Amino acid sequence: MPYMINIMSNLASRLNNPNVVAVAYDGLCTFEFGVVVEMFGLPRPEMGQDWYKFAVASIETGELRATGGVRVLADGGLDLFEQAGTIIMPGWRGVEHSVPQRLVEALQKAHANGARILSICSGVFVLAAAGLLSGRRATTHWRYADLLTERYPDIRFEPNVLYVDEGSILTSAGSAAGIDLCLHLIRRDFGTEAANKVARRMVVAPHRDGGQAQFVEQAVPAAHEGARLSPLLELMRNNIQKEFSIASLAKAAGMSPRTFLRRFDAATGMTPARWLLSERLGKARDLLENSPLSVEVIAANTGFGTAATLRHHFRQQLATTPTAYRDMFGKIPELEGA
C-alpha cells in the first residue's frame, strides 16, 4: 500500500495545475454536468491531497436552469478560467444556439495560457465556435456529425470513436462517452490504478473499446446468464495468455457452441474473441504502466505471442504503440534485456 501512495504522489507531480472548471449555462445539460461533477467534483481522500480541485463557472449571472427542472448557482463567472488547468464544456443548450462572444474569448485566452479544454457531446460546438478545433481531430454524437462538418469543414471529424485526445483539446461522442473521456483524462493524469478506482466506485468499465457504431442489445446480462458465465469469464481472465476454442468454452459453460455464442454476445455485447482481445489489451496496458517488463515479455504474458502482434493491436485499437504508451503513462522504466 505505501508503494501505491508513492506512485500517486509521483504522478500528481506531472499535473501542473489540478484546477478543473466546469462551464454552466442556462439550459445546462444535467447528465453531462453530473458526469463532470462525479469525476472531478467529489471528495476523494483516498487519492491524496494532490487530487483535482473543482469549481463551476457560469456564463450568465444569477440562478441557472438545468434540464429537468434543476436550478444551479455557480461558484463564479468566467474569471475562474484564469486559474483553471482544465476546462470542461458539458454539452451545450442546443446546436441551434449561438455561442456568446465572451465565452469564445475566455476559452481562447485560457487555452493560450495553457489550459486543457474538454467537451462532452454537443459541447463540441462551443469549442468549434472558439476556433479551437480548426485542423484538429474531434468527435461528437452521431446525430450532430453532419451539422458539425457542414459548419466547420476544417475539423477532421472522427465518426466511430468514443473520444478524441488531441493533447490540450479533448472531445467525446455522446453523453455517456463523456464518462470514457473523463476516465481517460484521469488515467492520463494519475495512471491506470487511479482511473480504475474511480470507475469501480462508479460501477462502470474503466475502459471501453469500440465506437459509436457499436450497439449492444442487452448491455447488462440477466442474472441467470451472468451467474453461468461469470466463472467462465474469470477463468479466461486468469489464464489470459492461453488460447481458448469455442468448443472448449461452450463445454465449460454447459452449452452447445451455437447457444454459447448467442448468450455470450447477449451478456457482453462481444464475441469471445473480441472480449478476450479487450482483456488482453487491458492487461498489457497495465503491465506497460506498472512493470519494467519488456514489450516482448508482456506480449507473451498477455496471450499476444509476439511483440509484433501486440504492436499491431495497439495501433489498430489504441492508435499508438506499446512503447509510446509506456513513455506517456509508464511509472517504471523498462529493464534492459528483459
* Segment 261-287, tens digit of pLDDT: 988 887 777 899 988 998 899 899 889
Q: What is the band of 8 on the pLDDT scale with cuts at 50, 70, 90?
A: very low
Asked if 195 and 324 sit in the same domain, the reply is no
Residues 11 and 329: their CA atoms lie apart, in Å, by: 9
Per-residue pLDDT, averaged over 7-21, amounts to 65
Residues 166 and 214: their CA atoms lie apart, in Å, by: 23
Average pLDDT score over the chain = 86
CATH number of the domain enclosing 291: 1.10.10.60
Respond yes or no: is residue 29 known to be catalytic: no
Cell of residue 176, nine digits = 455517456
Q: Is residue 115 part of a domain?
A: yes
Asked if 230 and 143 sit in the same domain, the reply is no
Q: Is residue 244 part of a domain?
A: yes
Q: What is the band of 333 on the pLDDT scale with cuts at 50, 70, 90?
A: low
Contacts of 154 (CB under 8 A, 6+ apart): 134, 135
Q: CB-hemisphere CA count at 13 Å for 56? A: 19
Of 39, 78, 121, 277, catalytic: 121
Per-residue pLDDT, averaged over 166-192, amounts to 92
Asked if 172 and 262 sit in the same domain, the reply is no
Contacts of 296 (CB under 8 A, 6+ apart): 306, 307
- Asked if residues 110 and 88 have their Cβ atoms less than 8 Å apart, the reply is no
Per-residue pLDDT, averaged over 20-37, amounts to 97
Asked if 25 and 162 sit in the same domain, the reply is yes
> Would you say residue 215 has pLDDT above 70?
no
Structural domains of the chain, count: 3
Strand extents, DSSP E, 144-206: 156-157, 163-165, 169-172
- Asked if residues 137 and 156 have their Cβ atoms less than 8 Å apart, the reply is yes
> Would you say residue 58 has pLDDT above 90?
yes
Taking every pair of Cα atoms in the chain, the longest distance, rounded to a whole number of angstroms, is 64
Provide the domain limits for residue 108: 2-202
Asked if 157 and 242 sit in the same domain, the reply is no
Total residue length of the chain: 338
